[in-house]
Structure 1
């Protein structure tokens, strides 16, 4: 009987021959979850990873020239270092990766949650923005413009990985990246803590410049095309739009984030630190 069953399964690998007994679920293909060490590359990314006490580092692969450049930046590795060649690094991270002669093997950052937002003033929330290049660019802009955290969903958002880290150019280790299961519920919790929740929407009742800001704000941006989802909009206090004076009426989400953060800081009366 076992032999017959094995032969049947070999010719019918995805069917269940025994009624009443559920078939084993098939493994899903696609991007795997980050469950072990990742490889971070690029001088800015690696420098920020060494400066972050919450980043658990394991091993550094670098060319002699890259090691000198890191030391010039004040980075003295506290992990084993293996000198290698640019071709050796390309084999590790791919031909198209701009590694700048350095690859760091490290663990993903700890899972940050709402508790890490205590004392925050300006938080940027991304509703199902999936492109790691866009999210990385937004993380970098959020650091530059003094946001306290960037919030994404656990699903339909990029995992922490080499592409996201490189696109963020070090920002991943300089700002809290909070991941939540349910964006609408997260916004309700933030509202209960006294945060004003503003979603960017082309049908907003006022432009963002004309929106009155509270002392603490969560700014919500949606994916290109779909925008902020209906349930997430319903959890916000206001809908605001970005009015463009030129012939092109909309911006890429990463560019929209820069403009929205700048306007929000001005509206909240936040001034650059000296």
Structure 2
């Protein structure tokens, strides 16, 4: 009988896109697969892989899948796998740095769903890597909730954990990366600002934003022009808007 539990050394990756991304990018990390009958049409290759590698798999009810995933939004598929670990900053730069790189840095973002949404947008808009600080990194690995909301994006780009974002910004500056703090109230208009590449875009905590000391280390601040009807945008929405603009202007190349 296939063990329908998840140990502390494993992660339950749930949701169709997130689970299939694990199979596509790190199939050797899959430990067990659980699925609802309706998922069979799109997991045939995964089940064949499991059969060849003697990886257990089992058909279950939606309620049983919810118990394993500890969430109801599993879309009929749960892949139990080795965790997706944060990398260190040097490892990220060694892997993906190039003259046109755009990096996203998240200082003290607390909500795993915001982190997942930002990773998803980062993958969509060609960001080279994501850098994270704060309590959300303490376990050393990306949470199941973040993997779910990222919809497979966390398998496509490195996510680094740092203990001090201000020091990380300084390190990036020493390596020639232009540093930009995002601010709801202050800074240059996003749509008219000239942003050199490579660049790191620094976003802050959902409540209090980027720390003043970190913001002071940055070369420039930018803001998204909006009406005055609301005070600010959710950090994942703001990040998506700014990443989209970086993607739109990518053909302009490095600019000073």
The 8 Å contact of residues 205 and 239 in structure 1, kept in 2 or not, is answered as: yes
The 8 Å contact of residues 155 and 181 in structure 1, kept in 2 or not, is answered as: no
Gaps of 5+ in 1: 1-33
TM-score by length of 1: 0.78
The 8 Å contact of residues 123 and 148 in structure 1, kept in 2 or not, is answered as: yes
Which of 97, 121, 145 matches 2:125?
145
Give runs of aligned pairs for residues 1-274 of structure 1, distance below 5 A.
36-53=9-26, 56-71=29-44, 74-75=45-46, 76-78=48-50, 79-94=55-70, 96-114=71-89, 115-118=91-94, 119-120=97-98, 121-156=101-136, 160-245=142-227, 247-269=229-251
The CA deviation at 1:270 is 6.0
Q: Equivalents in 1 of 2:182, 2:28: separation in Å?
A: 33
- Aligned residue pairs total 235
Q: Which has the higher helix share?
A: 2
> What is the CA deviation profile of residues 63-97 of structure 1, one whole-angstrom value per residue up to 9, with x for unaligned ones?
233133223xx544433212222222122223x42
> What is the CA deviation profile of residues 188-237 of structure 1, one whole-angstrom value per residue up to 9, with x for unaligned ones?
11111110000011343321222221120000111222010012112211
SS at match of 1:104: strand
Gaps of 5+ in 2: 1-6
Q: Equivalents in 2 of 1:101, 1:265: separation in Å?
A: 34
> What is the CA deviation profile of residues 159-191 of structure 1, one whole-angstrom value per residue up to 9, with x for unaligned ones?
522211111111111121111111111111111
Q: Equivalents in 2 of 1:145, 1:55: separation in Å?
A: 28
TM-score by length of 2: 0.83
Q: Equivalents in 2 of 1:154, 1:37: separation in Å?
A: 22
